[in-house]
Structure 1
């Protein structure tokens, strides 16, 4: 037990030592050094394969074999990821109406939220599509037309030409990309900051990925609907899909960040993919316009790799939402499948290529006997893999020396007087 006192009084009847914060931390660290770690590594299982049921996330469960999924390929994917020393936090695989395989690397769990980074952009696109469908604005409307009171003194011809479509397709004519971390510390209007970015080329011609463009899409939705994208989507998308408990960062004046800042669960990423797989329908309801989903997920730039805030993987006949460090919602429309992933992998790692090496290869290539054998192996792996080792409680020889001792802290910014 450790009691911390902030500038007040506490029981000081035991031994007392005057220390700095650094000295105290070193002492406690030494006391806990004998808490050893046992080797282990793997996934926390969430279901038993073959048990068709609805979990708390509202999704049906089934077995890989029933969905003609080759469990050995899924297993090989997991093996190769860990063989490359990459941190796979979770995955959920959906096919033919059921979640057929899923796992979370401890300490990650199904009910724990995960930062989505730029996967957020594909969620923002949902708000744009709905706002257009409701008549709030159009694809060819110009960005400057929404914010006449926040424009620079001189509006160039290039800036004046910048349209909603250009923002959606990452073809703004900017010379450099702007990440969310650039805007985040700014305490004034991010819209004003956006219009300071030079538009040096004709918009609608050259692709340049930038989170600033996604923020502007969010700002336009807010300007025209009177609601932040997060609030606008609540009754229209989140509630119908059973998505709750998410958080989404915002600008100082309450505009959802658009390009990043979303935190939700792996199942929510899967639902985003399923909604698009089903052309915007969910449980019999047309949640997103079918025409919007079709346009958002087809090639909208010259080289064919990007739609409206969705990436395309043409060799795999797939499209996907993607966030930094390995956050994915991958849709395989030709295979009636969706793969959601969270991870913590470095930039430049082979993680992306490993995903598309094994998917859609896992769909429908094994005979029944092989699928069943692979399913057992996959279930065993999911039950016996962990991201982090177990901690084993032991005692330290320092415990008797420091237990009951009061440490009187030197003056510090946190106003901690005694511990």
Structure 2
């Protein structure tokens, strides 16, 4: 079986597969169970905090319109959001089968937590921003230490200006010892002069924290950040040496992310206690270097701090693959968490600036909108993921139908047979011996698919998978799998054509499908 690996290579964050092929149709990504904090944030209503509920409705509708699929393009969708104003949750919702209480892998949002750990270590005088990186690992240095390596500081890791021309993370894994791999990689530029999105640099920050504290990144942050904020049962993936990856691997609920963002908005203060200095928060979230993303209107072209992205309109954010956002709007005393499953990254943020920001500033909403707090609550309670459908009378694959399909050798699904069953209420597809149910008109719950994954950076699958079937034509169906614990979605399309069945599959982060044609037995 094959699962996507969880590293990211650029600020556009392209998740790639271990062998470049889809090996198991219905499994997606890291689905690790975790707990939901019982120490909840205070709730309020938009109107009570001076925000027109019509703006929240406009945000939800615009988000669906800009991110939901149209035609044959399946680029993902919104999964959950949480909006805070004046430190209180004023609106929250999840598109079923996604849930607000389900922790998920937040990918590179993890980086901002790693930066925060460095802040605590600096505060405790365990290290400084100017410490040379090589000073922490004298036993892992290459035989020849280049001038660029010698000049690299902790600050350069935080700003992703280590001097690398490209992210060394792949070569680090090839070296087995990730620290040795980083220190032995080629450093083409003088540190502090060249930005490149660098997972390896963030991993090194985690390794440095472990070196100077004797604890993993997660364990070090637990009494300093997670416990005070009520973030419980924290999962953070680690290498075989016990070093949390730092750049990715953290699992959070929307409320966990909201607490962290509010902590940053509070300048390191929580429940009346200054946990981390205001000076560090200001430094970490300020633009420390320029990032050239081509378009001045891009939220990836506003500067980079210490593992935080700057945004337009004076905001900043923690940012993860497929649109995991924790947006802090200081001037508006507001926080927005968005968990998405989308490659359409900029449109999600555009929606914030166009619909929510004016209302958060107290500006009036279009007068024709008459949304109330109560009607908004009803709207948010009924959110559900949906995909385009074309319901017509089937010709070959009807309710009660059961079709066995023989697949050719060396097909990209690595299976000999596909069994398709239709009982009128749901479709069942069995591939490689694993059945998966897809509801018609609703999402069907399935247990996690067991099994190992190819490659060293794969993780076990835990938690339920939900499937739903969307008719695309007389004898064509789109099958979608979603997990509340993951941003990764699977799309599988099959079309009957005489005695054959054309099959196509892909993930939401990759627009290139794999295809094959099988013969009906």
TM range (shorter): 0.7 to 0.9
State the alpha-carbon separation in 1 of the partners of residues 135 and 200 from structure 2.
17
Between 1:68-77 and 1:250-259, the stretch displaced more is 68-77
Tell me the CA shift for residue 311 of structure 1: 0.7
Q: Which runs of 5+ in 1 are unaligned?
A: 1-54, 390-394, 400-408, 415-419
State the alpha-carbon separation in 2 of the partners of residues 357 and 281 from structure 1.
30
Equivalent position of 1:124 in the other structure: 114
Aligned counterpart for 1:91 among listed residues 58, 68, 81: 81
Aligned counterpart for 1:67 among listed residues 46, 49, 69: 49
Over residues 196-246 of structure 1, what are the superposed CA-to-partner deviations in whole Å (9 max), with x where a residue is unaligned? 221111111121111111111111111001011100001111000000122
Preserved CA contact (<8 Å) 2:148 2:190: yes
Q: Quick one: higher RCO (CA 8 Å, sep 6+), 1 or 2?
A: 1
- Could you say what secondary structure the match of 2:93 adopts? strand
- Could you say what secondary structure the match of 2:331 adopts? helix
Equivalent position of 1:200 in the other structure: 188
Q: Which runs of 5+ in 2 are unaligned?
A: 1-36, 69-75, 292-301, 388-398, 403-420, 422-431, 434-450, 452-521
Preserved CA contact (<8 Å) 1:228 1:255: yes
- Could you say what secondary structure the match of 2:358 adopts? coil
State the alpha-carbon separation in 1 of the partners of residues 366 and 63 from structure 2.
26
Larger radius of gyration: 1
Does 2:317 align with 1:320?
yes
Change (3 A) 1:350 1:97: closer
Between 1:170-179 and 1:129-138, the stretch displaced more is 170-179
Over residues 13-56 of structure 1, what are the superposed CA-to-partner deviations in whole Å (9 max), with x where a residue is unaligned? xxxxxxxxxxxxxxxxxxxxxxxxxxxxxxxxxxxxxxxxxx94
Equivalent position of 1:80 in the other structure: 62
Equivalent position of 1:342 in the other structure: 339
Change (3 A) 1:137 1:318: same
Tell me the CA shift for residue 127 of structure 1: 0.6
Equivalent position of 2:102 in the other structure: 112
Tell me the CA shift for residue 285 of structure 1: 1.5
Change (3 A) 1:186 1:375: farther
Tell me the CA shift for residue 371 of structure 1: 8.5
For the aligned residue pairs, the C-alpha RMSD in angstroms reads 2.8
Over residues 155-177 of structure 1, what are the superposed CA-to-partner deviations in whole Å (9 max), with x where a residue is unaligned? 10001100000111111110112
State the alpha-carbon separation in 2 of the partners of residues 217 and 359 from structure 1.
35
Equivalent position of 2:373 in the other structure: 375
Tell me the CA shift for residue 139 of structure 1: 0.3
Change (3 A) 1:367 1:261: closer
Does 2:243 align with 1:255?
yes
Change (3 A) 1:198 1:187: closer
- Could you say what secondary structure the match of 2:307 adopts? coil
Q: Which has the higher helix share?
A: 1
Change (3 A) 1:366 1:213: same
Preserved CA contact (<8 Å) 1:187 1:252: no
Normalising to structure 1: TM-score of the pair? 0.76
Tell me the CA shift for residue 72 of structure 1: 2.0
Preserved CA contact (<8 Å) 1:218 1:258: yes
Does 2:358 align with 1:361?
yes
Does 2:207 align with 1:219?
yes
Preserved CA contact (<8 Å) 1:69 1:371: no
Normalising to structure 2: TM-score of the pair? 0.61
Preserved CA contact (<8 Å) 2:87 2:262: no
Change (3 A) 1:372 1:60: farther
Tell me the CA shift for residue 388 of structure 1: 4.7
Change (3 A) 1:183 1:386: farther
- Could you say what secondary structure the match of 1:111 adopts? coil
Q: Which has the higher strand share?
A: 2
Consecutive aligned runs of 4 or more in structure 1 exceeding 6 Å deviation: 367-372
Equivalent position of 2:307 in the other structure: 309
Change (3 A) 1:189 1:336: same
Equivalent position of 2:21 in the other structure: none
Tell me the CA shift for residue 126 of structure 1: 1.1
State the alpha-carbon separation in 2 of the partners of residues 146 and 185 from structure 1.
20
Preserved CA contact (<8 Å) 2:172 2:180: no
Aligned counterpart for 1:270 among listed residues 250, 258, 277: 258
